[in-house]
Structure 1
Amino acid sequence: MGVQFDHPWLLLLLIPLAAFAVFAWRGPARIPMFRHRLAASLRTIALLLLVLLLAGVQLYTVQRQHEVVYAVDRSSSASAGDADRDWIDASLAAKAADDAYAMLSFGRDASAERTMSADAPLGGLEAAVDADYTNVQRALQLASGMLGAGDPRIVLISDGDENIGSMLESGRLLKNRGIAVDVLDKRTETERDAAIDSLSLPGKLYLGEAFTVEARLRSTFSGTGEIRLYEDNVEIGAQTVRVERGDNAVLLQGLAKKPGLHRYRAELGLPGDEQSANNAAFAFTRVAGSPSVLVVEGKPGTSSNIEKALNAGLIDTTVIPASLLPSEIADYAQYDSILFNNVSGDALGQSKMDAIETAVRSYGIGFMMSGGDQSFGLGGYFDTPIERALPVSMELEGKREVPELGLILVIDRSGSMSGSKIELAKEAAMRTVELMRAKDTVGVVAFDDSPWWVVEPRKLTDKEEVLQLIQSIPSGGGTNIFPAMASAAETIKGIDAQRKHIILLTDGQSAGGGSYEELLAGLGKEQVTVSSVAVGSDADRGLLQRVADLGKGRFYDVQDETTLPAIFSREAVLLARTYVVDKPFTPRVADAGDWAPLFAQGLPTINGYVATSAKPSAQTVLVSPEPDPLLVRWQYGSGRSVAWTSDLTGEWSGPWIGWDGFANVLTQTVKWTFPQFAASPYRIETAMAEGGTQLSVTAEPQGDAVLPDELVASIGGDADAAIDPVTLVQTAPGRYTGMLPLGEPGAYLLNLSPAGAGSGGADSENAAGSTGAETAGSGETAALPASTGTGLVIPYSPEYRISSAEAQGSARLAELAQLTGGRVLSWDDPAAVYAQPAAPHKQMRDWTSLLLAAVLALWIADIAIRRLAVPWERIAAMLAAPFAAAGRRGTGAASGEAAPAEDGALARLSAAKRRSTAARGGEKRADESRAAPAQRPAEAPRAAGGEPGSAAEGGFASAVDRVRAERGTGRAQPAERSAGEASRGDPPSGRAKPPDEPAPPDDGGSAMDRLLAAKKRSGR
C-alpha cells in the first residue's frame, strides 16, 4: 500500500504545526497539567489530519488486472450470426481469474449486454438495437463509461462502415484517457444486391410538359428486372431493364398532367436480389399551371354550379363524394384549395378532419365551406378540427331564443362496446351536453342486460357534474334494448320541455323483445321524436331503422365510430331547429376590404342560411339582418379559409346563383384562399443523426428582407396524418438547424415559415387583416415569406447502400487502433486479447470522509477535556490499567528478583518527597494561623486531608498516609527535620513534622501501584 498527495507542497504546513505542538505541550496551563497536555495532543492530531486533507492524501494499492469491454456491431451491414459470440467466448478462455470483462451491442444506438464482472456468464447478444444505422461513436462512449480502474481496453468488433457520428473523434478522447481500442474487422462476404442509388427529375415543371426521370442503379451481379415509377402513389409507368454489375442509369418518361406539388417513387425488382431495403428511391417536383380545387359534395350531382363558375375563371375542379376524401396530408398537396358543398361531418370521420385542418394550418392549402341542411352546425361540426379551421363558430351565443329542450341518451354499454367504441360514445354524449343550455333537461341511461340511469333527467345547472357522470360509464354485460327504451320513454313523458328527443345507440342484437310499435306510438302522441345509431357490422340495422322511422327521427349507419361525436352534436342542433333562417333578405356589406368592388353594383336576395357566429378575429364581409355572418374569411396558420353560410345549389340562394356576378364572386372568393407561394429563399439539406434526421436550412433573403430568429418546419407524409412542427434554431447567420423525428425513407411535404408568422393553429387567428393582404411596404423592413411549401426526401439508410470502396471501413478501424495505441486483432487468434500483461495501475482509496469524521471527533474531545469537570486522570488510569498490568507481568518475568529492590528505592524517594511536602505545608499553615486564627478549626480537615491536586498542603503525603493506613501500618508520627530543612533556615516552630516510618512490608503490589493509587485519591 502506498501514499500519495495531490498537493504535496502543502505539507510545508507541518513545520508551523510542529512549533505549535511544542508550545501547546510546554506552555502555561490554566487547567491541571494532565488535562492540558491531553487536550494539546488531541488538537495537534486534528490539525495534522487537516493538513493531510489539504495536501490531498490518498492511499493506494498497485494492481495488475485487465478490464475489457467487447463492443459488437449488430447493424445490418455487419450481421454475422453467432460468430461474434463464439470468438468472444474463445478469447475469455485465456483471461486470468482476476480479469474482468463487459459486453455491449450497437447499431444506431448502443445497449449493454453484460456489466463489468470477472466471473459472470457470457450469455447471448440479445439487446434491442436499431440495425438500420451504424454509430460506432455511441458504442465507444458507452464502452468507456463501463470501464473501471483496471487496465482499460475496448475490443471493437465491426466492419467500420459508420454512417452516424465519428469513431476517430471518440478515439482522440479515449487516447487522452489512456484507453486503448483493439479492432476486429467484421467484414462479411458480398451478397447479391441491387439498389437504386438516386432518383432525379426537374424541380419545376409546367402543365402538360413531358419530363425525364433518371434512376441511378448499382448492383453486385448482373440480371434482368423491372423498374416501376409512381406519382403520388399511383403507378404511371413500368420498364424492363438490364442491370449490369456496377453502376447503371435508367431513364423513365413522364408527363405533368396536374398542377401542384407531386411526389415520385421508383421501385426496382430484380430476381436474385437478397436485399430489398434499398430497392426504392424518392423525389418530388412542383408543376405550375392552372390552379386546382377539390370540390367535396354531400349530395351527388349538386356541384354543377360550382364547377361552371370556377372553370369560367380558369380554375380546374375535381368533384368527389366525402367518402373518397384522402386521409393523408400529402394527397392534398396537388390542390390549391378544398371546397365543401353541403357536406355532413358524420360522413368524414376524425382522421379526415385532422388531415384537412393540418393541410390548411401547416401547408397553406385553402378551404371554403358552403351552407346547406348538412353543413355547419347542422352537419355536426361543433368542436371539431374543421370548426377550428373555419372563421365561424357553430354556437349561436344567445342571439335568438331557443326553445327548451328535453333529451335522453340511451347508450349501449355491453361488453362489445368496450375499448374505443364506449369512449367515443361517451365523448359524443359529452359534446351534446356541452351544446345544450342551463334551462335544457338531459338524461342518460346506459344498458346491458338491464337499464342503468347514469344521469337522472335534470336541468343543466351543473354541466361539470353531468359530464363527470357520463365519463364514468363502464362496459360489460349483454344487450337488451327494449327495457332501456321503455324506461327512457316513461321518463321523458314527465319532462317539461317544448321539444323532446331520444337518441338510441347500440352495436349489437337485442337479447329480448317487446312491442316497439306501441312504445313509439305512445311517444308520438307526446311529441317525442327518436333517432337511432347503429355502430359496426353486428348491429340490428333493421330494428334500428324501424325505430327511427316510427319515432320520426333519423337513422345513422356508422362504420367509422370516430363520427359518433359529430352525429350526436348534429342531433342536438336539429332538435333546437333554430339554426336554419329561411326568410328572404338582401345581404348587407359589412367589412368587404379588397372585395368591395365585387359588391359595388348591389346584391341579390338570399332566401335562407345556416346561423353561425363569427370568430373575434375573423373578417365579416356580408351579414344578414339578424345580424348573422353570411360571408366570412380569415387567415388560419399558413392557410386561409372562407365560410359561406347559404348554399351554392340554388335551394336557398336561387337569386344569388342566377346573378350575373355570381361566377366572378365565387372565383375571387376561392382564389383568395389559394396558397401564397413565392420563390423559396431557403436551401435545404438533411443528414442522419442519432436522434433522427437533422435538417439544415440556409436562408437567402432578397433585398432588405430580415432573417427571423427561428423557423418552424411542418412535415407531412404517407405514414402519418400529421407530424408535430419542429422549431429550427439559428446556429449561424442565415443557417437554421433542427432534428426531425423521421426515420422511414420517403418523400415528405415540408413547409417552412418564420416562428410566429402563421405556423400554428388557433394562435394565428389574429392574422386576418381588414383587406386580407400583407402589410409589407408600409415603412417597415420586409421579412421572409410567411410560408414556403416544398418537399423533403429522406433516402433509405446508408447502411444498405452498396459501397464501391470496401476497404474504407477497414482503413478507419486500423486508424482508430493506431490512434489509441490498440491492436488489429485476428479471427484466428482470440486469445491475443489477454496476451499482453496488464499494465500496473493504482487502486485509489478515498479516505476524505473518514479523516473528516476523525477531525470532528477530535475537536469535540478537545472541547470536552477543556470544559467539562470530570475526573480525566481516573478515566485515563482505568483505560491504561490493562496495558500497565500486562507490562508488569512481562517485566517481572524478565527481571526476576529485581522488583523488590526497585520497590524499596521508590519507597525511599516517596518518603523524601513526603518530608519535603510536609515541611512546606507546615510553614504555610503557620502563616495562615497567624493571619486568621479563627479559621484554623475549619481548615484543619483540609490540612489533614489536603486540597485535591495541591502539593503545598501535603496532598500527596496525605494520600500516602491513607495508603499506609489501609495497609495497617498505623498513623505516621512526626519526623525529625531533614538536613535540607535546616540548611534552608526554615523555622522549626509551627511545622508539622514528617513521621518516621519504616518501609511497609511487601503485600504483593509494587511501589508504582501504590503511588498511582495515592495520586488518584489525591485527585479527588
Structure 2
Amino acid sequence: MGVQFNHPWLLLLLIPLAAFMFYAYKSDFRLSGTRKNIAVLLRSAVILLLVLAVSGMQSFTVLQQKKIVYVADRSASMPEAGQAEDWMLKSAASKKADDTVGVVSASLQGAYEQKLMNHLPANFKLNAAQKPEFTNLESGLMLAGNLLDGRSDSRIVLISDGKENVGSMLAAGRMLKNQGIAVDVLPSPSRQVKDAAVEEVNVPRKLYQAESFSIEVLVRSTFKGQGELRLYEDTREIGRETVDVAVGENRYAVKALAKTTGLHRYRAEIFMEGDQQSANNAGYAFTRVDGSPKVLIVEGKKGTSANIASALSSGLIQYEVMSSPALLPNEMAKYAAYDSIIFNNVSGDQVGERRMEMIEQAVKSYGVGFMMVGGEESFGMGGYFKTPLERALPVSMELEGKRQIPSLGLILVIDRSGSMEGDKMEMAKEAAIRTVELLRSKDTVGVLAFDSTNWWVVPPTKVGDKKQEIIGEIQSIQSDGGTDIYPAAAEAVEEMIKITAQRKHIILMTDGQSAGSDGYDSLLETMGSEKITMSTVAVGMDADANLLESLADGGKGRFYMADDEATIPAIFSREAAMISKSYIVDKPFVPALQDAGDWRRLFEGGVPQIYGYVATTPKPAAQTVLSSPEPDPLLARWQYGSGRTVAWTSDMMGKWSKDWVSWPAFSNVLTQMVKWTFPQFTASPYDVKTEVEGNKVHFQVNAVSGSGPEQLQAVVTGDQLKPSKVELVQEAPGSYSGEMTVEQPGSFLLSLEDGSGKSVAMPSGLVVPYSPEYRIETGNAGKELERLAEMTGGRVLSWDKPEQLFAAAPRPSRQLHDLGYELLVAALLLWVADVAVRRLALPWGRIGARLAAPFRGRPKAAGGAEPADAGLGRLAARKQRAAAFYGGGSAAPPAPAQPQARAGGKEAGAKRPASEASRPAAPKGMAPRGTQAARPPEAGPGKKAAAAGKPPQPDDRSASMDRLLAARKRNSR
C-alpha cells in the first residue's frame, strides 16, 4: 500500500498557505482562546485537503497478477478449432490462482467466448456465432483489449494464420501498445490443400450486338496438372477448353460473340482432377451489349403466345419465349438482360413470391418494363392480390363495392402439425390472412387447424366488420403434433352444411400423410349433395399427393402441388377469387377511349369489339387508356419507380379478343405498348467503376459530360432482394465516390439515382467474388504476426510448449485508487465545522473539556477528594461578588432582620443570608446594575410601599444565585 501524486509540484502551494495561516493566527482573528485554536486548526486542515486533492493524490496496491485473453481466429482458412481449444486448456492449466483468462473469437467480427475468469472450463469449446468467409483480426484484438485494463500484467494471445482480409491487426497493435497491453502470437499453419482458383474474369464493359470479343481468365493453382475451362453467358454455356495449368498464375483468353442485347453476366469455371477446394472455382464479370431491345415472354400454358410473338417480330423486336413460369431465374441479375417482360395469362402460384419480388425490383430500381396480359388465370383470377406484382401494376385486384357478387361460405382447413414449423406455417398464415382480406362483409369464413386433433381457430363467422379480429386469431396458430386429415375434413363439411351462402368452398392444406384414409367416399357424396366444393394444396414432397388430388377431383375443385411454400398465399387468394367467379366479365362490348395521351393516334380509326376480360380496379395515379362499360380498365399504364408497366385485362389468345388479334393494326398497337415499357436510357451518362477489397466495395462514378447533380446515390440489389442505397460524395464537378459493406459474395445489380429518387443511368452489374478466405496465399502472413508481437512487446509462442505462456514472473503493477473524491468530502465536512466554530455561540470550553476528558486522567485532590470544578469555582466567586455589591460592601454577615411595623399593616422582613456580606458595595449614589435606584418610602400615616414597579432587592438576587449554584452542583455530580 502506498501513496502517489499525479501533480506533486502542486504540493509547493502548502508553503505560502502555511505562512498565510501563521499570519492569520498572529493577527486579530476576532476569536480568542480555545475557539481561536480550533478555528485555525480546522481551516488549516481544509486547505491541506484541497491541496492534496488538486495534486491528484492516489493510493495504490502492488499487484502480482496476470490477465490473459486468447483471441482465436475462426475464419475458413484456419484448421479445425479443436487444436486451438486444446492448447488454450493446456496453457491455462499452468496459471497461478490469482491469474485470470478470457477468450474472444474473430472472423468477420469479434465475439466473446468467455469473459475474464479464474479458470477455463474442462469442456471448453469455441461456439460463438461467426461468419468464417472473412478474417478481421483487428476486431478481435480490440474486443480483447476491452476486457483488459492495462493495470496488471495484461496480455493478449493471438492464435491465427495471419491471413487477414478485413481491417488491420497492426493498427490494433499500435493502440494496444499505447494501453500497455502486449500481444503474444501463436502462428497457426493454414490448411494445406491442392487448390486451383479463378481469380479474375475480364470482359469489355460495353459491347455491340454481333461484336467479337475475348474473355480473359486468370487461374492460380498450387499444383500442376491439366484442367477444363468452361465459360457461360448468363446460364448458357458458350465455350469449353482443355488447358494446362502450372503452379502459380495462369492466364487464358477465349474468343466469344455478343449475340443478344442487354446486360449479361459471364462466368468462368475451372475443373481439375485433384482439386480439393471448389468454393473458388468460379469467377464472374458483367457487360452490356447494345443493340435492338429484347423482350421475355412468359407463358402460363405452353404454345399460347403465337399472336404476341408474331406482333413483336413484325416490329423487329427481339424476344425469348419461356414456356413455363417455373423456368424464371432465381438470380436478380438475370432479369436485367431483358428490356421488358410480358406475362401471358400466368397464374401467380406458378411464379412464387420470391420471383415476383425480383421482377418488381427490376422494374422499380433498374427500369425493366413489365406487361401483364389477361386470361382466366391472370390478375385476380391468378392470385395476384397483395403480391409484389400487384404493387408494380397500374391496377389492383380488389373489387370492393363494384358489382353484386354471390355470397361465399369459405372454410380453410390448415395442417398445423410439427412438420409445418417455420416458413411453411408462416406462409400458411399469410395465405389465410390474404384470403380473409379478399372476402366481403356478407361472406362467411371459418379457419380449422388440425394435427392429430382439430381446433377451430375461427369458428364459421360472417365477416362483417370483424376482419382484423379474424386476422388476429389466425396469427396465433402454432405448429405441433401429428397429422390426421379425415376428422378435420369431416368437421369442416359438417359445419359448412350449417352455413347459408350461395357458394360454399373448402380449401384443405397439408404437408403430410393422414393417419387414416377411410370414409372419404361418403364424405365426397355429402359434399356433392350439399353443393360444397373442395380444393386441396399439397405442401412439399412428403404430402400425400394422391389422396389430396382425389379429394380435389371428387370435390370438383383444384389440386395444387406447392413445392415452394412461397406460392401458398397466391394459391389461396386465387381460390377465393375463382370460387366467386366475380372477376371474369364475359360479355361483348366496344372499349371506350379514356385518357389515351400519346397513344390516342393508335385508336383514331376506332377499336374492335372485346368479348370478355378480368375485372380490376385502376389505381389513382394510373392512366386508363381503354375501359369497359362497367367501367373497368381494359388497358392501363403508369410509371413505377424507374420502370413502366402496362395492364391488358383481356386475353391475346383469341378467346375474348378474336376481333383484336385479327385487326390489321393489332401488331403495331401491341408493339407500341411494349416499346413504351422499355428503359428510357439511350446511353449511360456515367462511367461507373467498382473495386472490391475484403468486405468493402468502393465506387468511383464520373459523369461523361463533366457535370452532374449535387446528390447522387448508388442502389445495389442482390439475390437477397434488399436494396442498399449508398450515398456518393461529390469530390469534384461530375466526380463521385462512395463505399458499402457486403457480408455475402454474389452478383448484384447497380443503378444510379439523383436526389429525387429518379434513376439517371442504365443499370449495370457488380460482382463480389467468392470470399477472400478461399484465395490462394501469395504473401507471407507469418511475418505480419511477428511484426505485431515485436511492436507490442509480445512473444512468438510455440504449439509444443503451452506452459511457457504463464512461465515468466508477472510484471509488478500498481492498482490505483483516486482519493480526490474522499479528500473533497472531508474538506467539505471540516469547512462546515469551521463555520460552526466561528459563528455559533456555544460553550466551546465545556465542549472542548468534555471531548478531551476521555483522553486525560482527572487529578485527585488532597485526601482523595476530587477538586472542585473550575467552572463551579468561577460561578461561586461571581455569586460572592454580586452579594457584596448588593449588600453595600459589607464583608461581614449582617444580623438577622427583624420584622418592622408599617403604617396600615404589618410586614415580615426577609431574612438576608450571611453570604451577602461578602458582596461588593455599589458605588455611592448608584443602584446595582440591572436595577432602578431605590426610593425612600413616602412619609405619612396610612401609606404603603408600592408593590408594582418595586425594584428587585439584593435578597431576591441572592436567592436566585443560590438556586443557580445548587443546580450547578447537582449537574457537576
Query: TM-score, structure 2 length as denominator?
Result: 0.81
Deviation at 1:663, TM superposition (A): 0.7
Distance in 1 (CA, whole Å) between partners of 2:764 and 2:435 is 41
How many matched pairs? 903
Q: Identify which range, 241-250 or 733-742, moves more after superposition.
A: 733-742
Are 1:291 and 2:307 matched, yes or no?
A: no
TM-fit CA distance, 1:242: 1.8
Q: CA separation of 1:207/1:558 partners in 2, compared to 1, >3 Å: closer, same or farther?
A: same
1:658 deviation in Å? 1.1
Q: In the alignment, what sits opposite 1:393?
A: 396
What are the Cα deviations for residues 649-697 of structure 1, in whole angstroms up to 9, with x where unaligned?
A: 11111111111111111112112222334325143323445xxx32222
Please say if residues 310 and 663 of structure 1, whose CA atoms lie closer than 8 Å, have aligned partners that are also in contact.
yes
Shift of 1:274: 4.5
Match for residue 403 of structure 1 among 402, 405, 415: 405
Q: How does 1:692-707 map to 2 (within 5 A)?
A: 693-703=695-705, 705-707=707-709
Distance 1:837 1:26, change over 3 A: farther
The answer to whether the Cα contact below 8 Å between 2:56 and 2:818 also exists between their aligned partners in 1 is no
| 1:593 paired residue among 594, 597, 605 | 597
CA offsets 1:440-463 (integer angstroms, 9 cap, x no match) = 333444556557473233251322
Residues 373-392 of structure 1 aligned to structure 2 (within 5 Å): 373-392=376-395
1:345 maps to 348
Q: Would you say the 8 A contact 1:479–1:511 is kept in 2?
A: no
3-state SS of paired residue (2:691): strand
Q: Percent identity at matched positions? A: 46
* Compared CA separation, residues 398 and 27, structure 1 to 2 (3 A): farther
Verify the 8 A CA contact 2:685 2:705 in the aligned structure 1. Answer: no
Larger mean CA deviation between 587-596 and 868-877 belongs to 868-877
When the two structures are superposed, what TM-score results if normalisation uses the length of structure 1? 0.77
1:615 aligns with 2:619: yes
Q: Match of 1:934, SS? A: coil
Aligned twin of 1:218: 220
Distance (whole Å) between structure 2 residues aligned to residue 485 and residue 117 of structure 1: 60
Query: Relative to structure 1, is the Cα distance of residues 857 and 905 closer, same or farther in structure 2, using a 3 angstrom cutoff?
Result: closer
Report the residue type matching 2:826 in the other structure: A
Does residue 433 (structure 1) correspond to residue 436 (structure 2)? The answer is yes
- Which of 515, 526, 530 in structure 2 is aligned with 1:519? 526
Do structure 1's residue 165 and structure 2's residue 164 form an aligned pair?
A: no
Find the counterpart in structure 1 of residue 753 from structure 2: 753
Q: Which residue of 1 is the match for residue 106 of structure 2?
A: 106
Structure 1 counterpart of 2:911: none
Map 1:470-549; keep pairs closer than 5 Å: 470-474=474-478, 492=496, 495-497=499-501, 499-507=502-510, 508-509=513-514, 511-513=517-519, 515-516=522-523, 518-524=525-531, 529-536=533-540, 548=552
CA distance 1:221–1:461, change in 2 (3 Å): closer
Provide the residue aligned with 2:573 in structure 1.
Answer: 569
SS of equivalent to 1:266? strand
Q: 1:539 to 1:5 in 2, by over 3 A?
A: closer
Which of 944, 963, 971 aligns to 2:962? It is 944
Q: Cα offset for 1:88?
A: 7.3
Assess, with a 3 A threshold, how the Cα gap between structure 1 residues 117 and 740 changes in structure 2: closer, same or farther: closer
CA change 1:935–1:211 in 2 (3 A) is farther
Matches within 5 A, 1:33-432: 45-46=45-46, 48-61=48-61, 69=69, 71=71, 73=73, 75=75, 77=77, 79=79, 104-112=104-112, 115=115, 126=126, 128=128, 129-147=130-148, 148-154=150-156, 156=158, 158-181=160-183, 192-319=194-321, 320-399=323-402, 401-413=403-415, 415=417, 418-419=420-421, 420-432=423-435
The 1-side partners of 2:209 and 2:727 are apart by 34
Q: Where does residue 681 of structure 1 map in the other structure? A: 686
Look up the match of 1:723: 722
Shift of 1:858: 4.5
More divergent stretch after superposition (908-917 vs 479-488): 908-917
Q: CA deviation at 1:368?
A: 0.6
CA shift for structure 1 position 384? 1.1
| SS of residue in 2 equivalent to 1:723 | coil
Q: Determine the C-alpha separation between the residues in 2 that align with 1:92 and 1:481.
A: 59
The counterpart of 1:578, out of the listed 569, 582, 585, is: 582
8 Å Cα contact 2:297-2:319 kept in structure 1: yes
The equivalent residue for 1:845 is 817
**C-alpha separation in 1, matches of 2:13 and 2:863:** 46
Matched with 1:667 is: 671
Deviates more, 1:568-577 or 1:866-875: 866-875
Query: Does 633-642 or 92-101 show the bigger shift?
Result: 92-101
Cα deviation code 1:579-599 (max 9, x no counterpart): 222333322332222323322
Asked if 1:789 is matched to 2:763, the reply is yes
Query: Are the counterparts in 2 of residues 714 and 750 from structure 1 also a CA contact under 8 Å?
Result: yes
CA distances 1:899-929 after superposition (whole Å, capped 9, x unpaired): 7789999789999968865554445555575
- 1:950 is matched with none
Assess if the C-alpha contact under 8 Å between 2:714 and 2:750 holds in 1. no
In 2, distance between residues paired with 1:426 and 1:25? 93
Shift of 1:263: 2.0
How far 1:703 moved relative to its partner? Answer: 3.5
Contact 2:214–2:255 (8 Å) recurs in 1: yes
From 637, 658, 663, the counterpart of 1:654: 658
CA distance in 2 between partners of 1:475 and 1:189 (Å): 43
* Partner Cα separation in structure 1 for residue 712 and residue 399 of structure 2: 39
Measured against aligned partners, the alpha-carbon deviations of 1:907-961 in whole angstroms (never above 9, x if no partner) come to 8999996886555444555557583552545433432244xxxxxxxx6xx799x
1:21–1:44 CA contact under 8 A, matched in 2: no
Deviation at residue 370 of structure 1 after TM alignment: 0.8
Mapped to 2, the partners of 1:631 and 1:485 lie a distance apart of 42
Match of 2:737 in 1: 736
Partner of 1:771: none
**What SS does structure 2 have at the residue aligned with 1:359?**
helix
> 2 CA distance for matches of 1:454 and 1:439?
16
How far apart, CA to CA, are the structure 2 residues paired with 1:344 and 1:37?
103
Which letter maps to 1:614?
P
Equivalents in 1 of 2:365, 2:634: separation in Å? 26
Change in Cα spacing, 1:237 to 1:687, as seen in structure 2 (3 Å) is closer
Tell me, yes or no, if structure 1 residue 633 matches structure 2 residue 633: no
Contact 1:446 1:454 in 2 (8 A): no
Shifted more, 840-849 versus 384-393: the winner is: 840-849
Q: Which amino acid aligns with 2:762?
A: T
- For residues 63-108 of structure 1, the C-alpha deviation after alignment (integer angstroms, 9 at most, x for no partner) is 5666555555554556597776788789889988877665545344
CA contact (8 A) 1:228 1:238 kept: yes
**Contact conserved, 1:159 with 1:185, CA < 8 A, in 2?**
yes
The amino acid of 2:585's aligned partner reads V
Q: What residue in structure 2 maps to residue 998 of structure 1?
A: none
Q: Which shows bigger deviation, 303-312 or 919-928?
A: 919-928
* Deviates further, 727-736 or 285-294: 727-736
Instruction: State the one-letter code of the partner of 1:138.
Output: S
Unmatched 5+ residue regions in structure 1?
759-784, 893-898, 947-954, 964-1012
Given residue 194 of structure 1, which amino acid in structure 2 is its aligned partner?
A
Tell me how large the CA RMSD over aligned residues is. Answer: 4.3
| AA in 2 matched with 1:335 | Y
Write the distance in 2 (CA, Å) between the matches of 1:501 and 1:108: 56
